[in-house]
Structures are given as structure tokens and as C-alpha cells.
Structure 1
């Protein structure tokens, strides 16, 4: 064996990885989406320019849905490839979600008609945790589309969870409390197969947009969000 040639090859491979690493996600500038004081930069879905419902409020530095009927809260800005970090806490028996690539158009009456969802849930008490297939409706999952890569990553209701969502070059990764919970293509045959086997089969706008708003879902239950920041990739 030519060890000199092997060593040179390994060095070249390492250098290649280092060069590639320079182009990986994480080089953008972080943007704070919530300053802990007000809801500037957010609006109620399909009510751009209107005040958000007082049912969405601020509670000890967190966005707090006090009661249902407020409508989903969405960012004013749209995002394509990005890295999002957000902390959430759900009430006992609660359900909510972090929805991305939401296309805001009156033909779509709800954010989830276009945007895929990272599930926010009380796994112990909400029935959704036992519905779907193989846990694909539990907290941290890609809702109704993919079972968790790492099950059981969520903390109990009333405790803060740290979520991370990365969308880059047609691929997505979801993390909850430092554990990967989902990994998938955002378009193409793999994505189409997942959709065809889900409740979203036949929905004309679902998952069709590569850019869109980020939404915090009003599912009728109390939920809190804080430390929200994003960087475009």
C-alpha cells in the first residue's frame, strides 16, 4: 500500500470537507423575530396591516395565546431557506404548531393549507399524540407526514422546549431539545410520497411554496413562544 498517496488523499478529502463546510448553513446574520415586548413584525393571517387580536398577548417576555379564536400569528416577512430557533411551552392538553412556507392568499383559509408544520403538543394528554401513524403527530414531528427520527424528545406540558428548524437547498431538519426529530426533502418524489400518504393528499396548495411566512398556530389552546430568531441561508 502506498501510504504517502493514501495520506495525501485523506488530506485532500479533509480539505474538501473544510471548503464545503464554509458553505453550510449558519453563515447568515441572526434576526430577532420577537423582542419580548410587543408583536411588531407579526400580524394575524389574512389580516395584514390590522392589529393582532388581544387574545395574542405578551406574558413575561413570551408571546402567549390566552384563548382560542385569535387566528394564527404570522411573520410580516417571508422566508425561503433559513435557520429558525424558537422556544415553546404548551398548556396541559394543548395543541399548537410552528408552520413554515405559508402562502398568504384568500383562497387558502388557513396557514396549514399551504405550510408544513412542526408539531407543538402535550404528548401525554392530547389525543393527537396517539393518532396518525407511528407518532407522526407527536411534538417535534413533521405533522402527519413523518414519524420522529428521535421519539420522546419533548418535555412535559408546562416546561420550555427549544426547537430548531433548518431549510436549505431543498432539505429540512427539525430538532427539539437538541435531538433531531425530522429530516426530509421539501420537494420532489420523496416529499410527494409522504404527502400522498397523509391527510394532506389532494390539497392543491400544500407544500407547494418554497418561500412563505412563518406561523404560530392558534389551535384553541394556551401556548407560549419566546427567544425567536432566524437567519436566512
Structure 2
């Protein structure tokens, strides 16, 4: 009986592995490439080479351990490669009360990654200890466009994000729903920038190419299945 049960479990595990590999193969066949290999930080570095030990590979995820240890050194993590137009997708979850973000078009000549790169907000909307403005909520183009709908899953559950950039048109997707759409460098965008948080940040959103960055904001965050497609 025990042997029969063990064989059945092995069959189910094997079938699951084949399904996972087939799914990955399908993605790669359609032009998707992995951004994170699940075993190391190859292809990534800290912003401006700043010292940090907050980023780890844990159980196949890209993990930020947050402020559990006060001696932890923090820095944003960025891709070594830069991207122009792209479609990037990943799964993520966040600890209760935590805050992070995924940035794009990031360059390294400024003091912080968000001085150049627009940010797809990742945050615990319900449990964050301070009141959030709409443009601070998950899926927002931080400090610019609030999400059109609430498509979030609670802290501790996996969410799926897609970000698309094509000739200046940007879309943020969350769990299968489009939550933000805007056009870089349009008159509306310029007016928003001039009137908002980035009015004194001339480099914000101005580079046509840049790194992806994951914000180290002192909270635990897990990311997996990170892939990118370029035209």
C-alpha cells in the first residue's frame, strides 16, 4: 500500500514538472526570456553598485528580507541589461504592511532609481501602516496614475503583474486586469509631471531605454517567474 502511494505521488510530481517545463518552453518559443534564473542573482546588480545584503535567492524566488535584521544593508536591485520597448511579467507577493515597487527605464546617474524610472507600485494596500493616496496603491504608476480598478490579492498571496511599453505607450496589468494606461512624453504626461511630485526631478521618465529595478523599501517581498519579451 505504501509503495503504491509513493509511486502515485512520484507520477503526480513528474507530471507537474513536465507541465511546468512545457509552459516555460512555450513562453521561450514565443520570444519570452527569463530575467531571473531561480538559483542565483546572475544578470542583476545593486543600483550604482551600492553595498547590500538584503537580496537573496530563497526557494526559487528573488527575495528581499526587509528589516528583520537592523544590520541589513539595503539597495535597489537592477538588471544589468537595459531595455527599450518591452513586455515584462512576473509573480510577486509581499509581507503584511510591506512596500516595494518595480521600476523601468531606470538610469544610474541620479541619487535614486526612482529619479529616472516610473514605478509600478507593489504595496499592502489594506495593511500598510499609513493612509495611502490612490496613486500610491498597488499597480499605480506611482505619483502619476492611480489604478483604474482594484485587482489586488491580499498580502501573503501571489499576484501576477504585466507591464508593457511600446513607443511610449505604457500599460500596467494586475491579475489579468488592465489597471493603468498612459503615454510617456504626451502633453498630458508633461502637465502631470510639472504639477506633481516629479516637478523638480528633470530626469524622471525621460530615458527611452533603461534598467528594470526592484525597490528595496525595507519590507519583505518575493518575486518569481520573471520573464521579458522584446519586439
Place the TM-score, normalised by the shorter chain, in its bin.
Answer: 0.7 to 0.9
TM norm structure 1: 0.81
How has the CA–CA distance of structure 1 residues 206 and 219 changed in structure 2, closer, same or farther, with 3 Å as cutoff? same
Q: Which consecutive segments of 4 or more residues in structure 1 shift more than 4 A?
A: none
1:57 aligns with 2:56: yes
Match of 2:47 in 1: 45
1:1-233 correspondence runs (5 A): 29-47=31-49, 53-68=52-67, 69-105=73-109, 108-127=110-129, 130-132=131-133, 135-150=134-149, 152-233=150-231
Q: Is the 8 A contact 1:31 1:230 kept in 2?
A: yes
Give the number of equivalent residue pairs: 198
Find the aligned partners of 1:161 and 1:115 in 2 and give their Cα distance: 22
Partner Cα distance (2:129, 2:175) in 1 = 22
Gaps of 5+ in 1: 1-26
Structure 2: distance between partners of 1:89 and 1:113: 25
Q: For residue 22 of structure 1, what is the aligned residue in structure 2? A: none
Q: Considering only aligned residues, what root-mean-square deviation do their CA atoms show, in Å?
A: 1.7
SS of aligned partner of 2:145: coil
8 Å contact 2:91–2:160 — kept in the other structure? Answer: yes
Give 3-state SS (helix, strand or coil) of 1:191's partner.
helix
Structure with higher helix content: 2
The worse-fitting range, judged by mean Cα deviation, of 141-150 and 173-182 is: 141-150
Shift of 1:127: 4.7
| Gap runs ≥5 in structure 2 | 1-28, 68-72
CA distance in 1, matches of 2:141, 2:195: 13
Does structure 2 conserve the Cα–Cα contact (< 8 Å) formed by 1:28 and 1:232? Answer: no
Question: TM-score, normalising length from structure 2?
Answer: 0.81
